[in-house]
Amino acid sequence: MADPMRIRAQAAGDKATVRVLMSHEMESGQRKDATGNIVPAWFIQEVTATLNGKVVLTGEWGPAVSKNPFLQFTIKGAKAGDKVGVTWKDNKGDSRTDEATVS
Amino acid sequence: MKSKTCVSLLLIFGFSAGVFAQKSAVQSIEEYRAMLQDGNPSDLFEAKGEDLWKQKRGPKKVSLEQCDLGKGPGVVKGVFTELPRFFADTNRVQDLESRLLTCMETLQGLSAADIAKTPFGKGEQNNLTALATWISAESKGMKFNLSQAHPQERTFFEVGKRLFFQRGGPHDFSCATCHGQDEKRIRLQDLPNLTKNPGDGVGFAAWPAYRVSNGQMWGMQQRLNDCYRQQRFPYPGFGSDATIALAVYLGVNSQGSASVAPAIKR
C-alpha cells in the first residue's frame, strides 16, 4: 500500500490554501536500470480534491511530474473546520486518499 | 567617424543593461530553494520515521521507544544537536545513525552488521534514514552543543580533524581542498568552509537532507561516505569510526549554530 500524503490546509479570508505532498516514485518509463532494462512507467494519472465531499479539483497527470510531487491550490469559500480530501490514482491502479481539516 | 562613435556607445549601453538584468547565480539558487522550501518531501520521511519509532519490529517485536540516544531511554527531543557523543554501554563514540543501529540490534534483535552492510537506499537502510530524519526534525532550530568532556570524544575530534586534512586518492585531495576556504563554489554549488563554524543551517547543521535532483533522502552517514567516493576512495563504511570522527569534528566546529535538518538540497 502506498505511503500517506501530507496535507495542510489553511484558511485566510474567504479562501483556503491547500498544500499536498504525495509519496510516489513517479517513474517516467524512460529510465534504464543497471542491467539496461527499461524501468516500467509508474506514475500518478488522476488527482481529485474535494471540499466536504464535493469535488473541487480534478487533474490528469503524466510521467513528467517529479518524484514525491508537491501540489498547491486555493479553494474559494473554504473555512476553518472544513474537510479537504485528496485522492490520487496511478497507472498500476493503486490509489490513496487522505483527508485534512482546514485550520 | 560620427556614426562609428554612435555604434560603440550603443554597444556599451547594451552590455551594461545586460549586466543589470542578470540575477547572480547565488540569487537564482536562493529563489529556487525558497520555492522548494514550501513542499519539502522530507516531511514524508519524517512521518515514516515517527511511525517506525513506535512500531513493534524485528525478531523481538519491540518498538524503539526505549532507545537511549543520549538523554535517557525514549528521549528524542534535543538529542540530535548533541550527537555524536560517547556512550558508556557500547564504550564508543556514536553518531545518531550508528546509535540507532545499536538500538535496533539490542532492542529489536535486528543484525546491526547486516544493516551496516546494506547499500544506501535499500531495505533497512531506508528505515534507518527515515528514523534519523524524524529524530533530527525533533531538534529543528536547536543549537549544536557537542560534548568534549570524555577523552574518547576529544580523540575523535582530533582524528576527525586529521582525516579532514588528509590528502589522498588519485586526485590527491582532502576534504579541506574544497571545504577549507571561504566563498568557494563548484559550478553553482556553494562550498561552506568547514574548518570553522559555517553558521546556522550550513554544513553539518543541514543533514539529513532531501535531494531534489535524485529524489533521495540522505543521512549524514551517506553524506560523509559519498564525500569519500567523490575523493575516489572506497566508502569507509556505514557507522565507521572514520565517518563518526569526521562528524565529531564538523559537529564541534558547528557549536552554537542552529540545526535546520531535515533540509532540502538541489
Condensed to tens digits (0 to 9), the pLDDT of residues B3-20 reads 444 444 444 444 444 444
Identify the pLDDT of residue B18. Answer: 45
Identify the pLDDT of residue B214. Answer: 85
- Give me the CATH number covering residue A85: 2.60.40.10
Specify whether B175 is catalytic. no
Please return the burial class of A10, using the count of CB atoms within 10 Å of its CB with bins 0-12, 13-18 and 19+.
middle
* Cβ–Cβ < 8 Å for B41, A68: yes
CB contact under 8 A, A66 and B215: yes
Identify the pLDDT of residue B9. Answer: 44
* Cβ–Cβ < 8 Å for A44, A88: yes
Digit-coded pLDDT (tens) for A7-35? 999 999 899 999 999 989 999 999 998 89
Select from A94, A4, A2, A101 the least CA-distant residue to A46: A94
In a domain, A39, yes or no: yes
Identify the pLDDT of residue B11. Answer: 45
How far apart, in whole angstroms, are the C-alpha atoms of residue B69 and residue B140? 16
The answer to whether the peptide bond before residue B198 is cis (omega within 30 degrees of 0) is no
Q: What angle do CA B220, B38, A78 make, to 5 degrees?
A: 145
AA letter at B250: L
Grid coordinates representing B26?
547565488
Grid coordinates representing B159?
582524528
Q: Which of A39, A42, A68 to mutate to test the interface with B (most CBs of B within 10 A)?
A: A68
In a domain, A52, yes or no: yes
What value does the mean pLDDT of chain B take?
A: 86
How far apart, in whole angstroms, are the C-alpha atoms of residue A79 and residue A37? 50
In a domain, A12, yes or no: yes
Identify the pLDDT of residue B190. Answer: 82
Confidence of residue A1 (pLDDT cuts 50, 70, 90): low
How far apart, in whole angstroms, are the C-alpha atoms of residue B259 and residue B138? 10
From chain A residues 13-32, the ones with a CB under 8 A of any chain B CB are: 19, 21, 23
How far apart, in whole angstroms, are the C-alpha atoms of residue B20 and residue B241? 50
Question: Which residues lie across from B89 on neighbouring strands?
Answer: none
In a domain, A1, yes or no: no
* Cβ–Cβ < 8 Å for B262, B133: yes
CB contact under 8 A, B38 and A4: no
Residue span of the structural domain in which A38 resides? 6-101
Identify the pLDDT of residue B1. Answer: 44
In a domain, A66, yes or no: yes
Distances (CA, A) of B225 to B146, B207, B230, B242: 21, 13, 9, 9
Identify the pLDDT of residue B7. Answer: 47
Q: Angle B42-54/B123-137 helices, nearest 10 degrees?
A: 100
Select from B121, B120, B95, B100 the least CA-distant residue to B110: B100
CB contact under 8 A, B43 and A6: yes
From chain B, the residues in CB contact with A67 under 8 A are 41, 215
How far apart, in whole angstroms, are the C-alpha atoms of residue A18 and residue A99? 11
Residue ranges in chain B modelled with pLDDT below 70: 1-22, 25
In a domain, A19, yes or no: yes
How far apart, in whole angstroms, are the C-alpha atoms of residue B66 and residue B50? 14
Identify the pLDDT of residue B21. Answer: 54
Digit-coded pLDDT (tens) for A36-88? 999 999 999 999 999 999 999 999 999 999 888 999 999 999 889 999 999 99
Domain count, chain A: 1
Tell whether A3 lies on the interface with B, counting CB pairs under 8 A.
Answer: yes
Q: Which class is domain B32-265?
A: mainly alpha
Which residues touch B187 (CB under 8 Å, ≥6 apart)?
none
Grid coordinates representing B183?
566563498
Instruction: For the beta carbon of residue A101, count every other beta carbon within 10 angstroms.
Output: 11
